[in-house]
Amino acid sequence: MALVSAGETDHGLTLILEGRVRISRATEGGERQTIVEHGPGEFMGELANLTGRPSLVDATAESVVEALVVPPERLRALLIAEADLGERIMRALILRRVGLIETGAGAVIVGPAGHADVVRLEGFLRRNGQPYLRLDPASDPEARSLVERFEVDEGELPIVLCPSGALLRNPPEDGLARCLGLVSAIDPDRVYDVAVVGAGPAGLAAAVYAGSEGLSTLVLDCRSFGGQAGASARIENYLGFPTGISGIALMGRAYNQAQKFGAEIAIPTEAVRLSPPGETDTAPFVLTLSNNERARARSVVLASGARYRRLDVANLDAFETTSVHYWASPLEAKLCASQEVALVGAGNSAGQATVYLASQAAKVWLIVRGPSLEASMSRYLVDRINGLPNVKVLTQTQITALEGTDGMLQAIRWRQGAAAQDVRHLISHLFLFIGAQPNTDWLAGSGVTLDRKGFILTGEEAAHGRGLLETNRPGVFAIGDIRSGSVKRVAAAVGEGAQAVAAVHAYLAGAGPRAR
């Protein structure tokens, strides 16, 4: 008897009192693969059960079963109220999600390896901590069988088979997220205590502290959790991690922590407009979203960070979905394993990416516009890069041209020094870590004051801004990279997230009854 089916909205954590339950997944060939069996005294569940999102697996009763179901909201209350037990349960939920990622439970992507949209969908799922399996119809007979069964034309690839059985043909990230149950409709009648725009380290810190202090919290991000910090292969100067930690692992912990404290996280959902001063509505602030929904909140924390700065070279966009990367994660490393790659940048993120890629690629050409790395990169990274035999640092160098066909990069031209001739090198993957620009265009008409570079003014620099983080609009706060004068470090962003919640509390204390 089926207790839970993949794709079905789950009801929470289930404690088995009597009987046995088999947890399994359907393989791409239609067979059943047993993941684990649970008996009396054990519980079934993973991270999806923390928020009531659709199940990634099937749960089948192998005998008469008596069980106790703990709904998501009661489960979160248990994790907080019972610290020791909560720690053990939370650890189990995380480890089980890791197991599902390793076994490929979840969505099945069918498409050619290296295809631009396959890379796009893989990146979206991986950066949002979602299990998936990729199959190439050119080499996998079961993938070919799926293509034939659903009569999919080659131009419609990749296809995605969701755990619910729904088939998507080359979906956008939003369509895939909704099929997987990662996002759902936002209640237009609900008024949140605080809406956080951006799920980088600053935004997630604000969500954790707001949720832990009982504020109803909505978090929005157009891409994935983690922001630029999530792109760091290894962060070694973050307090408390002497051996370092990858950006995606650190941000994944923060994401799960925010959900543990009840923050509602909608990814990918982009805020495209903040209601201007004086606009008539029943709530103080209204956020218009990219899907034409609206979210209302009594305070807003702006943490939308920055957009990756693009290289000023012709035809860059032709290669951005296949060969030009703004992240250096295991996904990108797999694409360029044992190849020569080029990386442009001289900051800490560039240094971390260089060190990581050097462990995967045959050679890394580190291209630096300035005269040295020392001016913009931490000493420990400079020393490490200098000690890597397969890294070549090119200073006072800039890329002048990209060459390739059908969206696949084949060669790069660069010039070292103003009077030098262009050098052509056969390279298929280019990594860009050249900084970012503030993501504030969407605030046009909101009344929020920006500096001449587009960063948000706060505190004394903003007219009427009270406190370090409040903008000129009371109840609207800015934190992290988007704030003018902020320190561009993960630790600083986390600190501002915590500080913003204290400021939100002070604002709400004088703004009437709290949201429920």
* CATH architecture under which domain 316-434 falls: 3-Layer(bba) Sandwich (3.50)
The 10 Å Cβ neighbour count of residue 2 is 9
Which range among 110-114, 468-472, 491-495 shows the weakest confidence by mean pLDDT?
Answer: 110-114
Three-state DSSP class for residue 337 = coil
- Rounded distance between C-alpha atoms, residue 183 and residue 172, angstroms: 14
- Rounded distance between C-alpha atoms, residue 316 and residue 311, angstroms: 7
Block residue for tokens 């079905």:
8
Give the pLDDT of residue 267. Answer: 96
At the topology level, CATH places domain 107-180 in Glutaredoxin (3.40.30)
Give the pLDDT of residue 511. Answer: 66
Average pLDDT, the chain: 92
- Contact between 208 and 263 under an 8 Å Cβ cutoff? The reply is yes
> Which structure tokens are listed for 19?
């009987």
Three-state DSSP class for residue 91 = helix
Q: Tell me the per-residue pLDDT of 96-117, one tens digit each, with 9 for 90 and over.
A: 999 999 988 999 999 998 888 9
To 10 degrees, what angle do helices 247-260 and 83-103 make? 130
To 10 degrees, what angle do helices 116-127 and 173-180 make? 50
Q: Counting Cβ atoms within 10 Å, is residue 15 exposed (0-12), middle (13-18) or buried (19+)?
A: middle
Q: Tell me the per-residue pLDDT of 310-344, one tens digit each, with 9 for 90 and over.
A: 999 999 999 998 899 988 888 788 889 999 999 99
In angstroms and rounded to an integer, the radius of gyration of the C-alpha atoms of the chain is 24
In the chain the first and final C-alpha atoms are separated, in Å, by 39
89 vs 114 pLDDT, higher one: 89
CATH code for residues 2-103: 2.60.120.10
> Does 316-434 match 191-307+437-509 at the fold level?
yes
For the chain, domain boundaries = 2-103, 107-180, 191-307+437-509, 316-434
**Sign of the CA dihedral running 131, 263, 437, 285:** positive
DSSP H or E run through 3 = strand 2-4
Q: Tell me the per-residue pLDDT of 204-231, one tens digit each, with 9 for 90 and over.
A: 999 999 999 999 999 999 999 998 888 7
- Rounded distance between C-alpha atoms, residue 67 and residue 504, angstroms: 42
417 vs 130 pLDDT, higher one: 130
338-367 per-residue burial string, b: 16 or more CB within 10 A, e: under 16: eebbbbbbbbbbbbbbbbbbbebbebbbbb
- Residue ranges of alpha helices (H) inside 16-115 are 48-51, 72-81, 83-103
Q: Tell me the per-residue pLDDT of 186-206, one tens digit each, with 9 for 90 and over.
A: 998 899 999 999 999 999 999
Q: Is the pLDDT of residue 275 over 60?
A: yes
Which residues does 207 contact at the CB level (< 8 Å), separation at least 6?
196, 199, 217, 219, 258, 261, 263, 265, 497
- Rounded distance between C-alpha atoms, residue 376 and residue 369, angstroms: 11
DSSP sequence for 217-275 = EEEE-SS-TTTTGGG-S-B-SSTT-TT-B-HHHHHHHHHHHHHHTT-EEETT--EEEEP
Block residue for tokens 């001449």:
452
Give the pLDDT of residue 29. Answer: 67
- Rounded distance between C-alpha atoms, residue 134 and residue 154, angstroms: 16
**Residue of 405, 424, 476, 485 whose CA lies nearest to 447:** 476
**Residue of 82, 70, 62 whose CA lies nearest to 13:** 70
Which residues does 48 contact at the CB level (< 8 Å), separation at least 6?
10, 54, 55, 56, 97
**Residue 88: HSE in the Cβ half-sphere, 13 Å Cα cutoff:** 5
- Contact between 203 and 197 under an 8 Å Cβ cutoff? The reply is yes
Q: Is the pLDDT of residue 265 over 80?
A: yes
Block residue for tokens 């890379």:
119
> Which structure tokens are listed for 349?
């993120």
Which residues does 258 contact at the CB level (< 8 Å), separation at least 6?
204, 207, 208, 211, 217, 219, 265
- Contact between 480 and 200 under an 8 Å Cβ cutoff? The reply is yes
Region 409-423: mean pLDDT is 89
**Residue of 164, 156, 108, 163 whose CA lies nearest to 136:** 108
Residues paired with 137 in a beta bridge: none
Which residues does 320 contact at the CB level (< 8 Å), separation at least 6?
none
- Rounded distance between C-alpha atoms, residue 129 and residue 224, angstroms: 9
Class level of CATH domain 191-307+437-509: alpha beta
Q: Tell me the per-residue pLDDT of 12-46, one tens digit each, with 9 for 90 and over.
A: 999 999 999 999 998 766 678 999 999 999 999 99
